[in-house]
Amino acid sequence: MYNQEKDVVEIIVKEQKNFLQYIRRRIKNISDMDAEDIVADVVFNVYNKVDIQYHIENILAYMYRSIKNKMIDYLRQPSKPLSLDQPDESSGREILEFIVDASADIEIKMQQEELRNQLYGALMKLEPKQRAVWIATEIEGYTFKELAAKWGEPIGTLLSRKSRATKILRTLLKDNV
């Protein structure tokens, strides 16, 4: 490691808490995650510039100046990220409480879960190759062309496997739906 690289690593380890405090003192109501993102971005950029041909005279001052510039960029952002844990100024309730759908029907969710379980059980009754084609096309979103190339099978074979699998699934799930 070059001398300057060692200096940067030492400064990062020693000054990280000070960098975060510097940001929090200058930007009110900044989340811990945003402050850490600013420091991480600066550390990444400075560390990658260390091996450039020119020498940075005062690395610590350079890093603080870089953090200041990143804070200015942060403040210039048109809209700041909204924390769901943050209380609403008018009501004092957490913003997450406004987003949660109080009218969510538990019965519908239970029926969907039951149908999912029945589908899984029916899929397990299929032959492995039929099951693989059906899952790949219906759940994972592969095209028959992609599967033919991936598995080395003719498209016609894959189409007929899926057709048979779909007929079997309809029969198995007919009474349940």
Sign of CA dihedral 75, 77, 78, 83: negative
Q: Which CATH class is domain 3-80?
A: mainly alpha
Domain pair 3-80 / 106-173, same fold: no
8 A C-beta contact, residue 38 and residue 71: yes
pLDDT digits (tens, 9 = 90+) for 131-165: 999 999 998 999 999 999 999 999 999 999 999 99
pLDDT digits (tens, 9 = 90+) for 52-82: 545 667 778 888 999 999 999 888 887 656 6
pLDDT at 4 exceeding the cut of 70: no
> Domain extents for the chain?
3-80, 106-173
How many percent of the chain have pLDDT more than 70? 79
Radius of gyration in angstroms for the set of CA atoms belonging to the chain, rounded to a whole number: 28
Amino acid found at 118: Q
8 A C-beta contact, residue 19 and residue 67: yes
pLDDT digits (tens, 9 = 90+) for 157-174: 999 999 999 999 999 888
Rounded Cα distance, 41 and 111, in Å: 46
User: Which CATH number, 3.40.50.2300, 2.40.50.140, 1.10.10.10, 3.40.190.10, labels domain 106-173?
Assistant: 1.10.10.10
Identify any residues that bridge with 87 across adjacent strands, giving them in sequence order. Answer: 94
Q: What is the pLDDT of residue 62?
A: 83
Residues in the chain: 177
Amino acid found at 165: A
User: What's the mean pLDDT when you consider all of the chain?
Assistant: 82
